[in-house]
Structure 1
């Protein structure tokens, strides 16, 4: 298609009207080489030949190009959450706010899919010239704009890998929780709040789900107290415990554990034992 653009909002003009609707063309296509049907129910009242109309182009169930004045929930290249309507043998169909749902092929999914849940996706035009959805949103995200270091941001986890936890910040910017900061459990689709710890030269963001050390220490100390209480007042951990053991038990780095433990020891709330730590009676 030279003039008509699939999957985006564009302004076209009415080339001719019929009983069943109006055929639209791009303003620069003066010869009317490419036209698309806008069904009668979508034609604005009083519109005539030459009237400009903003429309979205997609393909109907018969694979015919069609226009609608309805604005979809997402356009091609945008990232956002869409609800799963149903799951079939070829993939999941998502509600994009139009008469026709959009397909998320199984090869483009990450994790398990269930009807009724919303998933973070980007829309693209596939090889067969149809609009489709993908959960592999990395290449569709943008560099950060208007975000500062130490700012708290919202994001959606979209991939877990060796470098860390990939997050779509505000569902549109590149974000990564490096492995060194990725304490706790994360899952694809999880919504989180995080702190910006670094803005890279390329505009991508490094994140931490934890506050700065001196701010986080109180919460970590409270966590240790709750764990001790739930365990009957004693735990087999101390400042010489292995980092992996500490992370598995508390979801904390060893340094964060030691800071929290030091705070509790100084406050006289716990004592060290030969086996670990114990609530002070």
Structure 2
């Protein structure tokens, strides 16, 4: 079955004045690829990657445009117009994405960016957007997540203690500000690493690898800075946490683990107010 809101590989089945009609291999359901998306190297029988969505007349249509998000995904989109039925966002296709007023967590303004979830509305059978994100996120681990796992993050909010992130387009998580070596912005995408899942199922995320891998990676950071500084740095496990974060880009807790590992490997010696390369 041809899936609405998804990029998929379809076969060029037949040609008509308005464009190519595409089908799934082994299927008979057709969708039109309009002339404006057809390139000279396309031929009957070719398999091509297309995105399928509804045109302005609510007809299913294929496109070679690359959308900013697909069905059941999240993205940071700009509102280009607001009228009596809702707000419209640019999502990388010829037709803008509608966010009806009922799907807005607060009134959206033209020219501003918002985190948007796109889904297939069961009543209208149309792709629509929503900024009411809570109901589209899993707020507890479902048992498929593991400590140390690398994940994709999208920042969708900020509170006093941390940055609210969407994990792998599915889960809600938190990056603590006192453990982050950078200031994250809403709409920013980055990689993260899962911390141990909390007893209540909530998910915390680190921006640096967890455990042994983290120490190894950051050991090189410290050694590189030691070499660049001539073999001595005025930092120790007694140093100010903010100074450590500003200079090395990670927390004091991690810094202490790193220099402890380097000390055990006999690569540095630790003095009261400094570390030295051996």
Fold conserved between structures, TM > 0.5:
yes
In 2, Cα distance between the equivalents of 1:165 and 1:239? 27
> 1:142: which partner in 2?
138
Q: 1:213–1:256: 8 Å Cα contact kept in structure 2?
A: no
Unaligned runs of 5+ in 2: 7-17, 24-28, 32-51
Q: Give the 5 Å matches for 1:65-214.
A: 66-70=58-62, 78-81=72-75, 88=80, 93-95=89-91, 97=93, 99-102=94-97, 108=108, 121-123=116-118, 133=129, 137-143=133-139, 144-145=141-142, 146-188=144-186, 189-199=188-198, 201=200, 203-214=201-212
Q: 1:42–1:69: 8 Å Cα contact kept in structure 2?
A: no
Q: SS where residue 197 of structure 2 aligns?
A: strand
In 2, Cα distance between the equivalents of 1:213 and 1:75? 33
Q: SS where residue 58 of structure 2 aligns?
A: strand
> 2:254: which partner in 1?
256
How far 1:222 moved relative to its partner? 1.6
Q: SS where residue 185 of structure 2 aligns?
A: coil
Unaligned runs of 5+ in 1: 1-6, 10-39, 46-51, 114-118
In 1, Cα distance between the equivalents of 2:270 and 2:228? 17
RMSD (CA atoms): 4.7
Deviation readout 1:148-207 (Å, 9 max, x if unpaired): 444333322222322312221111221222345434443332221312421554x54222
In 1, Cα distance between the equivalents of 2:154 and 2:253? 27
Q: With structure 2 as the length reference, what TM-score do the two structures score?
A: 0.57
Q: SS where residue 254 of structure 2 aligns?
A: helix
Q: 1:108–1:134: 8 Å Cα contact kept in structure 2?
A: no
User: When the two structures are aligned, how many residues end up with a matched partner?
Assistant: 221
For the structure 1 residues 137 and 228, does the alpha-carbon distance in structure 2 shift closer, same or farther, using more than 3 Å as the test? Answer: farther
Q: 2:118–2:127: 8 Å Cα contact kept in structure 1?
A: yes
Q: With structure 1 as the length reference, what TM-score do the two structures score?
A: 0.56
> 2:232: which partner in 1?
234
In 2, Cα distance between the equivalents of 1:162 and 1:184? 15
How far 1:245 moved relative to its partner? 1.9
